[in-house]
Every structure is written in C-alpha cells, then in structure tokens.
Amino acid sequence: MTSNVKNKKIMVRMSITIIVIGIFISSLNLTQTAIAQQRLHQQQTNAFDGTTFRIDNMTFSHRLAIVNGIQMHYVIGGKGDPIVLLHGFPETWYEWRNIMPSLAKNYTVIVPDLRGLGDSSKPLTGYDGNTTAEDLNQLISQLGFKKIFLVAHDIGAQTAFAYAEIRPNIVSKLVIMDYIFPGFLPPQFGQNGPWWFTFHQVPNLPEFLVEGKEREYISSFVKMLGYNPYAITKEDLDIYTEKYSAPGAMRDGFEYYRAFPKDAVQDKALVNQSKLQIPVLVLEADFYPVFGGAVQGLPVADAVKAMAQNVTGIKVPNSGHWIPEEQPQFVIKQLAKFFGGNSNFTNTSKGIHP
C-alpha cells in the first residue's frame, strides 16, 4: 500500500514537471516565433525607409526610427510647425490620407504607426498609454521638435492624453476624436464600455476567432460604427486588411484593449496629479448604428472635462466613429480654427499617388 502511494506521488510530481516543462517550451517557442517575425518585419520595412509618395501635389516620405526598444514607422511631409496625427483601431497612419495634404501646406505633418500596428514593429508587451506615450516622446525628441500640435483618434487618444499629461511643455494643443477613456467612461456606455471592449480583452480568443477573417471583422467594425461606411472603400479595406493580417497585428490591436485596466489606473493617477491644462478640442460622432442611431448630447467631451481644464466639444454632423474618413472637410476646418486658421487650409485631397 505504502509503495503504491509513493508511486502515485512520484507520478503526480512527474506529471507536474512535464506540464511545467511544456509551458516553458511553449513560451520559448512563442518568443522565438516573435523574434523571427520581428526580424522579417524589419527586413521588409527597411526596404521602404526614405521612399516618397504623393497625395495630390504634396510629397510625403516613409521613415523608420528606433524608439523605446521598438522600430516605429512614420510618414512625414510638409513644412512649418509640427502636427502629429495618431490613428485608431483597426486602422493605421493611412486613416489620415484625406487630411494630410491640406495640413502639409502650412505644417510639418508627422503620422506614426502605433506600436504593434501598421509597419511598426510588433512587441509582445507595452500597449498601455504611458508606454506608448514614451514611444512618441522619443520620436518627437529624435525629430528635434520642442512644441507640437497633437491630434488623435480612437486608441491613439490614449497615447496622446498620456503624452500631453507627462510632457505638458511640448504639446501646445490637443485634439481628441471619438474615444472614451478607461477610468472615465461616460455613463451611456456602461461600467465596462461597449461589448467589444470586453471581447477584445479576453486572452487569445479574439485573435483565434478572427485569424483568416480579418477583412470580414474590420468590415463589420466599419459598418456598425459608421454613419457613412462607404467613406472607407473596398480599396481602403484592402490596405487595412493587409496590415492587420500580418503575424501578430490583430493580437497587438487587441492588446491595446487588454491594457485598458492599466490605462484606467494610469489615467486617474495623471488626473489626480494635475488635470490637463492645455486647450483640448473633442470631436465626436453624432450617429452610431450599433447603438441604434443618433447620439444624444456630447458624452465624450463631457467625460473629458473630468480630465482637462479647458475642453471644447463639437459634434461632427453626418459622421459616425470614423471621423477623419467620413468628414475630412469638416475636420480640416475645425483644425484650422483650433490651431490658428489659414485661408489655404482647405481640403483638396483626391487620393494617394505612389
């Protein structure tokens, strides 16, 4: 009997040891795969570093920078005071294509791909606002800018707010487009936010279900949040799908949502230390199909007022969540007014010409 008990204990220990070794080997394989993907990605992106393209008559170039331990891709063009544009999910720098040429007439326009997305490298960690703000801080420092205007949509706003709070001497004015901040959710969106906030935070499952169906998922996202979903064309969807079909890209998009609990703690800590003092313009949608239609009031701007001292909220007419793509003309006019105005600051975009 004693011998049987000892044998069972030995077998249990061996089983536990085998499981631990299996987990360790799996983690090694995951790390090695990530490293291999990172090297391949760097080789591919290095090929277009410095290449130029045109949107209307304005020239922009692709650039790469090593910041905060990652390789960040960004697009730059124009001349004058710097404006930085930060994209949302499931998008890349490309979401600003209809805004960039008008801005570039009077400003230096810098449009990064956020960590893990587009043509930036894809680390396994670092998707909280404070970390991505440091990504941006190092990029701005390398470019030598002492003051910037900052514009951000969706998850890009998390990076933008953290950066403006941590580096208030660098950001002159901040524009936030249609983003609800963890820790400061408007009551209309419930305690945990819309259903996809919860779904995207589930470990591993969303990327498993979406793999191979990235286009369908992105397309459904566009339709359920857009007043005019056709503002994002089939060709635009092709571009987003290509970037989010890359190994690790969807996972990294979901990692921004998985960082929300950490973002909530960080946001509250920053606000408790000091509410943001610089002028903030909030542009928000007036129509959400997923929520049944017209949006009442200015829920995003009202929530941001708990985070910043000087907030102006504007509802974008005939627009859903995809404001820069659904209503670029309106956005350009609001940016012109907010940043100082210029008679040449008009929308002339007709498309990208490589």
* Neighbouring residues of 249: CB distance < 8 A, sequence distance ≥ 6: 116, 117, 122, 243
Q: How far is CA 250 from the centre of its chain?
A: 12
What's the residue count for the chain?
A: 354
Strands in the chain per DSSP E: 52-55, 58-67, 70-78, 81-86, 107-112, 148-153, 171-177, 276-285, 287-288, 293-294, 308-316, 352-353
Does residue 179 have an active-site annotation?
no
Q: How far is CA 2 from the centre of its chain?
A: 61
- State how far the Cα of 237 lies from the Cα of 91, in Å rounded to an integer: 9
| CA distance readout (Å), 114 to 22, 94, 149, 249 | 33, 12, 17, 11
| Burial status of residue 327 (CB atoms within 10 A of its CB: 0-12, 13-18, 19 or more) | buried
Are the C-beta atoms of 84 and 339 separated by less than 8 Å?
no
Residue of 113, 119, 135, 154 with catalytic role: 154
Does residue 240 have an active-site annotation?
no
* Neighbouring residues of 106: CB distance < 8 A, sequence distance ≥ 6: 78, 80, 81, 342, 344, 345
DSSP 8-class letter at 88: -
* Neighbouring residues of 55: CB distance < 8 A, sequence distance ≥ 6: 97, 100, 101, 349, 351, 352, 353
Helix (H/G/I), strand (E/B), else coil: 220: helix
Residue type, 93: W
Does residue 87 have an active-site annotation?
no
Residue of 257, 263, 267, 288 with catalytic role: 257
Sign, Cα dihedral of 44, 45, 47, 53? positive
Tokens (6 digits) for 107: 């400003």
Beta-bridge partners for 315: 284
Active site residue ranges: 154, 257, 321
